[in-house]
């Protein structure tokens, strides 16, 4: 979610490189996020190669922003 939050869209291979996840792990995460309505998945062919593009939905962007604000507050409240 954090990687998709800072870009308009990203392809599956780019996300694998950014996250260090395996194909199976990333696919599992993406399936759950898609089912929750947080991401849209667009599968197409570029030439003869399959290409999967992902982007956050408005709902996903809002959910991540709420999570980010919540985590920021948690860290601000930690004693030094």
Predicted confidence (pLDDT) per residue in 36-54, tens digit: 999 999 999 999 999 999 9
What global pTM score does this model have?
Answer: 0.84
| Residue 27 domain boundaries | 2-76
pLDDT digits (tens, 9 = 90+) for 10-46: 999 999 999 999 999 999 999 999 999 999 999 999 9
Domains of the chain: total: 1
Q: Residue 80: is its pLDDT beyond 90?
A: no
* CB neighbour list of residue 41: distance below 8 Å, 6 or more residues apart: 30, 34, 52, 53, 54
pLDDT digits (tens, 9 = 90+) for 47-78: 999 999 999 999 999 999 999 999 999 999 99
Give the distance between the most distant pair of CA atoms in the chain.
55
- Residue 61: give its domain's CATH number: 1.10.10.10
């Amino acid at each position: 979610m954090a990687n998709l939050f800072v870009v308009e869209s990203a392809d599956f291979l780019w996300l694998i490189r950014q996250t260090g996840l395996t194909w199976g792990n990333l696919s599992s995460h993406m399936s759950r996020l898609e089912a929750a309505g947080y991401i849209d998945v667009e599968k197409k062919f570029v030439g003869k190669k399959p290409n999967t593009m992902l982007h956050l939905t408005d709902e996903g962007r809002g959910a991540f922003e709420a999570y980010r604000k919540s985590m920021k507050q948690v860290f601000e409240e930690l004693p030094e």
